[in-house]
A and B are shown apart, each in its own frame.
Chain A
Amino acid sequence: MEETQVIIRTEQLGRRYGAITALTSLDLVVEKGDWLTVMGHSGSGKSTLLNLLGGLDRPTEGTVQVAGQDLSGLSENELARFRREQIGIIFQQHHLIPYLTALENVMMAQYIHSVVDEVEARGALERVGMGHRLRNRPGELSGGEQQRVCIARAIINSPALLLADEPTGNLDGGATRMVLELLRELRAEEGFSIVLVTHNQEVAAWGDRTIQMDDGLVIRDDLVGGTPA
């Protein structure tokens, strides 16, 4: 596979926390534009993998390359810049700033990246169907709406890789479907790759490929086909 087509490449990637091994010798290659789903029970190493891919944590063994950059060789400042420019993250708990409006939450991501552009932020919220709730604070939005604001915040800086940690964990069936459809549309338009962590088999079926983890090891690697079950 050509290196320019690869978004993630890990070699013997491992992470230990003292005596506990969270991730062991992971060799993983993900192509640009792919949607990779990571499944596994609690403590299987899913979030550790996500943290390592997002440059939020450093490996204790092996290497991890994202968008052509070897993250283990980057300084703290370079890593922060990498996160700003290449990574978008969606959390289960949203982590929106409660005293800022939806628009201001998106603009905050712009501010941290470079400079703010209200027109562009407004456009991003309109793309995720939140154009009518720009001035509402997170507390005034439903769970699905908050997650859509999170998606707008995550894609506003045109990341190469979108990391989603249980993005539908708090949502009902309708809202889950809406968020996943949105992610699929945006991926087709923007061309970013997705690594999504979930417990839900139905959610996993929306991806191109699923890996199953257990005790820090990948125990299964399936190509789903890119269509929901």
Chain B
Amino acid sequence: MILRSALSLALLWGLLSCCLLAAGETGRLRRRIVLAFSFTAGAVGMLPLLASMPGDLPFALLRMFIAALLLAMVLVSSAALLSAPGRGVRSTIWRERCAGWGRKMAPVLFPALNGALATAILAGSPSTSRLTVVAVTVVTAFLVASLVDLLINMLPYRPRFTTLTLFLLASSLLFCSAAFSPRLDLFAPLSMKIMKFTHDFLHQFMESMLLPDHLFINPPTWNFVGFFFSQEIGFWGALLLWFAPVLLVCLVVSRTPLPSVAHVRQGARRRSLIAAALRERRGLLIIPAVAALVLAFSVYRSQFPDVLYWDPAPIAVEATPAGDIAIPLKQGELDLRDGKLHKFSYSQGSTLVRFFVLERGDAVVVALDACAICPPDGYGQGEGSVFCYYCKTLIPLETVGRPGGCNPVPVPFTSSDQTLRISTLQLVNLWNSTVQVTTKNAGGKR
């Protein structure tokens, strides 16, 4: 899997460097050197960051940078739309100035971020030396970059870039690179934030309007309102924001004014000039279209991450006559203190409760295979974290066992004689109350 990620990242880097090479103004050799230096600096610079900061902090920092890039893309494309040609000298001067900065910044910023992403994603493998991974990535990336460059040179038509479309494609490739790791992926947390914002906003709105939750709202209306509390609102809202830069850039390109042909006497010549301008405009839409495809792929990667989570089948347990569930910490091959997630299920009437046991550092924790927010899709175990299948959130192992947010709901238990004891009454009540709330949050869809 690490090899596949390395190759995918190298391919993305190849595409990125090719578009940066194609769009640059200085000599190709000089641009190549700048790109190579920036990529290597970003890749190597990430190593001390990973070593000096514990846990997910370096990843959080990197993700913050990428989120800032998404915000910048939305702002830049909105500004480009608002300052479209014909809006006055001042906006033209600013547009030219920003384009100049962009052209200077792009060959340094994007490769450096791409290098840092590559290291962060590939160096996560404990079995591989981080330095070896970086070296392999850098070498593969440059081989792929040269190959893609060669192939692009063989195309009969070379895509046209503007600074804006270059930014768009380069950012999209970075978002796509980030989607290779759930810890760096931007789309899933973005959809969660939007879902939470919508939920909080509606809740506050209803509170401020003194509207009670249920009293005057019949179930069909509540189902409609429920959509705004469901995961779908987050997904569609995030999609809108995710593709907003592409849409805005397409609008900017399509609003580019056609040349003035009033002075051309011959009709055919006049039409030829207009047709050439329209062709050029269509050519400029190729890059946003490619960016849209790359962004769509990153959404797919985010929704269906190619990461293998440890997710064992739940072991069915029975209650003792005293009404407890007793699970020995070690029995045969089963060792609850091996650091892996161990899932269990307990059935009472029509209720099937899922919970898991996990050793976190020095203590064993018991938690429901569900959280207080999402419908109970359960958790898988990744490196240093558990992963909520419903909202795609990574929960660091250090916080498993604490209540709140998307953390698994902790289950009270006692431990004696190397055996865990859980009250079935508490367990079933906890499961029922949790699932009842989270099902309502999902808009009655589950």
Flag if A115 contacts B278 (CB, 8 Å): yes
Binds A, one of B47-55, B112-120, B268-276: B268-276
Bound complex: CA A97 to CA B127 (Å): 71
Cβ of A156 and Cβ of B268 under 8 Å apart?
yes
Set of chain A residues within 8 Å of B275, measured between Cβ atoms: 113-115
Q: Which of A115-136 contact B (CB under 8 A)?
A: 115, 117, 120, 123
- 14 extra interchain contacts, Cβ-Cβ under 8 A, other than A114-B268, A114-B272, A156-B267? A85-B268, A113-B271, A113-B272, A113-B275, A114-B271, A114-B274, A114-B275, A115-B271, A117-B267, A120-B271, A123-B267, A157-B268, A158-B266, A158-B268
Residue contact A158 to B278, C-beta cutoff 8 Å? no
Chain B residues closer than 8 Å to A157, beta-carbon distance: 268
Number of chain A residues whose Cβ lies closer than 8 Å to a Cβ of chain B: 11
A158 x B274 contact (CB < 8 A): no
Whether B272 lies near A120 (C-beta < 8 A) is no
- What's the minimum C-beta distance from A190 to chain B, rounded to whole angstroms? 9
The answer to the question of A198 belonging to the interface, with a C-beta cut-off of 8 Å to chain B, is: no
- Interface residues of B, Cβ cutoff 8 Å to A: 266-272, 274-275, 278
In the assembled complex, A110 has its CB within 8 A of some CB on chain B: yes
Interface digits, A134-162 against B, CB 8 Å rule (1 contact, 0 not)?
00000000000000000000001110000
Q: Which residues of B contact A113 (CB under 8 A)?
A: 268, 271-272, 275
Q: Which residue on chain A has the smallest CB distance to residue B278? A: A115
Closest Cβ–Cβ distance, residue B345 to chain A (whole Å): 67
A157 CA to B271 CA in the complex, in Å? Answer: 9
In the complex, A85→B267 CA distance in Å? 12
26 contacts between A and B (CB under 8 A): A85-B268, A85-B272, A110-B271, A113-B271, A113-B272, A113-B275, A114-B268, A114-B271, A114-B272, A114-B274, A114-B275, A115-B271, A115-B274, A115-B275, A115-B278, A117-B267, A117-B270, A117-B271, A120-B271, A123-B267, A156-B267, A156-B268, A157-B268, A158-B266, A158-B267, A158-B269
Give Cα A95–Cα B182 distance, bound, in whole angstroms: 63
Q: Which residues of the other chain, A, contact B271 by a CB distance below 8 angstroms?
A: 110, 113-115, 117, 120
Contact residues in A for B266 (Cβ distance below 8 Å): 158
> A110 — nearest CB in chain B belongs to which residue?
B271
B267: chain A residues at CB < 8 Å are 117, 120, 123, 156, 158
Closest Cβ of chain A to B152, distance in Å, is: 20
Nearest-CB residue, chain B, relative to A77: B156
Select from chain A the residue with minimum beta-carbon distance to B271. A114
Which chain A residues numbered 6 to 49 have a C-beta less than 8 Å away from chain B?
none
Residue of A nearest to B274 (CB): A115
Contact with B along A98-121 (1 / 0, CB 8 A): 000000000000100111010010
Set of chain A residues within 8 Å of B278, measured between Cβ atoms: 115
How many Å from the CB of B258 to the closest CB on chain A? 10
CA–CA, A120 and B270, complex, Å:
11
Q: Distance (Å) between the CB of B5 and the closest chain A CB?
A: 42
CA distance A113 to B269 in the complex (A): 10
Whole-angstrom distance between the alpha carbons of A31 and B145 in the complex?
Answer: 54
Q: For the complex, give the distance between the alpha carbons of A85 and B268 in Å.
A: 8
With A and B bound together, what is the CA distance between A88 and B158 in angstroms? Answer: 32
Q: In the bound complex, how far is the Cα of B266 from the Cα of A123, in angstroms?
A: 13
User: How close is B254's CB to chain A, nearest CB, in angstroms?
Assistant: 16
Contacts of B270 in A (CB 8 A): 117
Distance to closest chain A CB from B264 (angstroms): 11
Instruction: Please name all residues of chain B whose beta carbon is closer than 8 Å to the beta carbon of A115 when the two chains form the complex.
Output: 271, 274-275, 278
Report which residue of A110, A114, A117 has the largest number of chain B beta carbons within 10 angstroms of its beta carbon. Answer: A114
Cα A123 to Cα B268 with chains together (Å) = 13
Bound together, the chains give a CA A120 to CA B269 distance in angstroms of: 12
Residues of B within 8 A of A123 (CB): 267
Q: CA of A156 to CA of B278 in the docked complex: distance in angstroms? A: 20
